Amino acid sequence: MRLKLIGNIAMASALLIGGVFTVSNEKVNAEKPTAGTEAYQHVYNLTESIGPRVAGSENESKAGDYIYRELEKLGYQPTKQSFSYTRNRVTVNSANIIGTKLSHSNKYKSDKQIIVGAHYDSVSVGKGADDNASSVGVILETAKALQKKELHYDIKFVFFGAEEQGLRGSNYYVSQMTQEEKNNTIAMINLDSLLAGDNIYVYGSPGEDGWIRDLALNIANKKKIPLQTNPGINPDYPEGTTGDWSDHAPFQKAGIPIGYLEATNWEIGDLDGYTQTVKHGGIWHTKNDNLEFLEEQFPGRVQEHLHDFTVVLTDLLQDIKKVK
């Protein structure tokens, strides 16, 4: 909030004096667009133009196509990994959408990769803005920012289908990885539910494999972004870690170090990170999970979180140099 306020005051002063000092105006105009702006547009498109995206539904498929097209626009050559499963005796068809960013670098030529993932399906209640259009938006904006950058590793951006019906997309993705690919994956970074929660968090694997979390905390600290980790008040979820309820879980089980970005509040409710806000409790999986409610009830939070997570993820992917 503090940073945002300073920005607004600076902008207001520039506008006030703009008529007299044209230099100030030019300076303001030359400023780069705020991180999170494009992510917001993606959240809007996924939730207001498409709507709820239940696994196997036409809307889930529309959202998958939307992501595919956006990746194409960015110059990636996306692929669609279709899968199906049976639920209540009904066959459900879903798909993961994958965009690959090659390191494009002679300096750092590497056969290692990082997987960055988020689910794009939602439950039927609400519009799935927090859970999880928010993460799709942040990843697409990050994919754009990194498009022409030289990176130390290849990055696979994976958008999972059917998370809400038992982590189907991420389980399928891991089941299709060869042992060689698993060995070459130095990290999996999962994003889930970034908008509603009172605080912004990063979690990591227990022990030495928790290095992604530590790197993200360092980056945030330098940028004065209030990213924190699970304080570990609840002994079931030790400090710095989290539960196995999202798409990072199959990767962690496969022995791949994980990082995980989320907004929630670990200091209220059952101290398990499920109660996202003091003001309205949990937002995910309720009718309140839409942009209108979030922006009305938590002024500034949506933009602030999209900004902060986009900055952290973009810097993190450029800074990761550790070899497994």
- Interacting residues toward Zn ion by CB under 5 A: 131-132, 192
Q: Quick one: which of 197, 298, 182 has its CA closest to 242?
A: 197
Count of Cβ atoms closer than 10 Å to residue 255 Cβ: 12
Residue 129: CB minimum distance to Zn ion, A: 11
Dihedral-angle region of residue 36 (phi above 0 means left; psi in -120 to 50 means alpha; beta otherwise)? left
Q: How far apart are CA 296 and CA 121, in angstroms?
A: 24
Q: Tokens 């497994």 label which residue?
A: 324
Number of Cα atoms under 13 Å in the Cβ half of residue 124: 3
Q: Which is nearer to Zn ion, 55 or 215 (CB)?
A: 55
Residue with smaller CB distance to Zn ion, 167 or 312? 167
* 191/311 with CB nearer Zn ion: 191
**Residue number with CB closer to Zn ion (132 or 265):** 132
Q: Minimum Å distance from CB 161 to Zn ion?
A: 12
SS3 30: helix
Is residue 138 within 8 Å of residue 39, measured between CB atoms? yes
* Smallest separation, CB 4 to Zn ion (Å): 26
Minimum Å gap between C-beta 297 and Zn ion is 20
Of 9, 2, 54, the residue nearest 28 (C-alpha): 9
Nearest to Zn ion of 129, 151 (CB atom)? 129
Q: CB-wise, 167 or 217, nearer to Zn ion?
A: 167
What one-character-per-residue DSSP string does 3-16 give? HHHHHHHHHHHHHH
Smallest gap from Cβ 119 to Zn ion, in A, equals 6
Q: How far is the CB of 76 from Zn ion (least distance, A)?
A: 23
